[in-house]
Amino acid sequence: MTDYFSDRENGPAPRVNQVISPVAWAAIVALVRAYIANGGFGFRFPVNCPEGAAPYGTDEHALGATVRALMPGLEWPLQTNQIDPELTFEPPIAIAPETLLALDFIEYVHSVVAKPFIVKRHEYYHHNHLGFNQAEGQFDFMADVNSIFARCGVAYELQSNGRIVRLLPPILRETLSRAFFRTGDKILDNAMEEARVKFSSPNPIVRREALERLWDAFERLKSLADADKKTSIAIILDTVASEKTFRGILESEAKQLTEIGNSFLIRHYEKRQVPVIDTDHVDYLFHRLFSFINLLLGRQ
């Protein structure tokens, strides 16, 4: 179920959380355990009937061994809480793995899950021989995961191809989804497209790379109208705004954005540059510069 009363009345929860919380992780773990119980991983990790090759469930040991090998750092059985060894009499503490690890795990589960159906009943062993529909199982898993993400306000979404994407900030989502760069300068177009694609990554390191590429694009853009960069940006700003006051605002913004690129660890890697670590700060700077570039390109 995805259409809840509170969503209809108040609108869905904002999808802004870029970290998988212990609550969301516990729900994912419960979902995976349910698929283990109903044989949903028997398509790839079958437990076969002693009297034949027909699978009747999931080989949880084989599944767990594979997960441990592919997801270093993820415990199996999956853990949702832990006890502080110094506070053994206190209630367990809810935990979640590092977000990128959790997202990797979800993508892996999507690749091996399938919807089981009963082929026939084996009365002697009191179990059912199973067949599997992987497409239906993957669709159901995707819907369940995305429902958890939505209700927990998680800014990620599992797509039908099995890949997780980051949901962009609402103010940027529509603009970036329909962005198509055809400026006449291939280097600028490629830099803008690379920045756009990387900014959608769940990995915060890749999103910071998107910020770097966007500032590269800005420096390229400033030089397109004339060999002298100061003359060039003046020509571009004159084209964008003929009204004196607004033209002054744009010039001030161009200078500030240039200073930001030079002061932070974006364009240069000297010791004096300040790194941009907070993901919300990365989003803000990307949005600010992208909006400015978008305005300049729209008038070229």
pLDDT at 145 over 90: yes
Tell me which residue has tokens 């802004």.
Answer: 16
Name the nearest CA neighbour of 204 among 121, 280, 115, 129. Answer: 280
Would you tell me how many other CB atoms lie within 10 Å of the CB of residue 206? Answer: 14
Domain locations in the chain as residue ranges = 5-166, 170-298
Q: How far apart are CA 298 and CA 287, in angstroms?
A: 16
Bridge partners for 46 per DSSP: 58
49 backbone dihedrals φ, ψ, rounded to 5°:
-60, 135
pLDDT the model gives residue 15: 87
Are the C-beta atoms of residues 81 and 30 closer than 8 Å to each other? Answer: no
Are the C-beta atoms of residues 193 and 290 closer than 8 Å to each other? Answer: no
Structure tokens at 99: 């977000």
Q: State pLDDT tens for residues 188-239.
A: 999 999 999 899 889 999 999 999 999 999 999 999 999 999 999 999 999 9
pLDDT at 1 over 60: no
Q: State pLDDT tens for residues 74-131.
A: 999 999 998 877 766 778 899 999 999 999 999 999 999 999 999 999 888 788 999 9
Q: How far apart are CA 288 and CA 283, in angstroms?
A: 8
- Classified as helix, coil or strand, 289 is helix
pLDDT the model gives residue 88: 67
- Return the percentage of the chain with pLDDT > 70, whole number: 96
The pTM of the full predicted model, rounded to 2 decimals, is: 0.83
Structure tokens at 143: 């819907």
pLDDT at 33 over 70: yes
Q: How far apart are CA 282 and CA 211, in angstroms?
A: 7
- Give me the chain's average pLDDT, please: 91
Name the nearest CA neighbour of 25 among 112, 84, 101. Answer: 101
Q: How far apart are CA 40 and CA 132, in angstroms?
A: 8
The average pLDDT across 229-254 equals 94
Q: How far apart are CA 165 and CA 261, in angstroms?
A: 27
pLDDT the model gives residue 11: 84
With residues binned 3-state (H G I as helix, E B as strand, rest as coil), the percentages for the chain, rounded to 5, are: 55, 10, 35
Q: How far apart are CA 268 and CA 116, in angstroms?
A: 54
